[in-house]
Amino acid sequence: MERVAPSLPDRTVDIHCHLLPGVDDGCDSVEEAYSILEEMTKNGTGRVYLTPHLFSPRVKSSIGEIRDAFERLQESYTDKYPELVLGSEVFLVPEIVELEFIPMGSTRFVLVELPVDTRPRFLHHALRSLQEEGYVVILAHVERYRYLYSSKTPLVDLFTKRERFHEIIKLRNDGILFQVNWHSLINPGKHERSLVRYLLNSGFVDFVGSDKHSANDGRSLINHSHPYYAQTRNSELL
């Protein structure tokens, strides 16, 4: 299936972060958010998508709360900071198309989160339902979902990459885009390393995001001059 990406401005972006103050598990204050945005500017980030959780079983937040927090953050905005665009990280549920959510700015991109430990039985059906409504699905931090790529046997070498990554390949062929967290690209865990390398070598890293939640969360900000960034498709898509 050939994927044709919507034509959007070429820019260094952070597609995924939780900087909206007082919403979900993000920053505690406007001041904290802008201290992080200042560091993002120094690292070369030109646009930041703010993606608070929606429908997450772990964190509760409403669209009204999210929009109010975005307005409060914008009150202190100046153009010395990256451009701010409101989106959301939508937790996949069976009835996803029947719910109201926030896509990425004015686009039809939607950032979708899956359960970390258990593969949803409705995975492909729910993703397809979004696509049928005209949305372009970005799978958030795909490296976290080990059930999409980990072998059930320690004898990994017995499997070809195509066999091991068949679920990833199916999602790709179905037109799903992949976002990887920057920290996982530059410092992957032992379980993530094989997938991250496979995605990079295959040209499958469509977006990177810092997934930054707070000033002290230990997550690295994107370095747009890093060689790994050049291997992603961020500059082609957003």
Tokens 């719910």 belong to residue:
99
Chain segment 158-173, per-residue pLDDT in tens: 455 667 788 999 999 9
Predicted TM-score of the model (pTM): 0.89
Q: List the domains of the chain with CATH numbers.
A: 13-237 (3.20.20.140)
pLDDT tier, 203 (very low <50, low <70, confident <90, very high otherwise): confident
Chain segment 46-99, per-residue pLDDT in tens: 999 999 999 999 988 999 999 999 999 999 999 999 999 999 999 999 999 999
What Å distances lie between residue 158 and 33, 48, 178, 197, CA to CA? 47, 42, 26, 18
Residue 118 token pair:
């258990």
HSE at residue 227, side-chain half, CA atoms within 13 A, is: 1
Chain segment 5-28, per-residue pLDDT in tens: 343 344 689 999 999 999 988 999
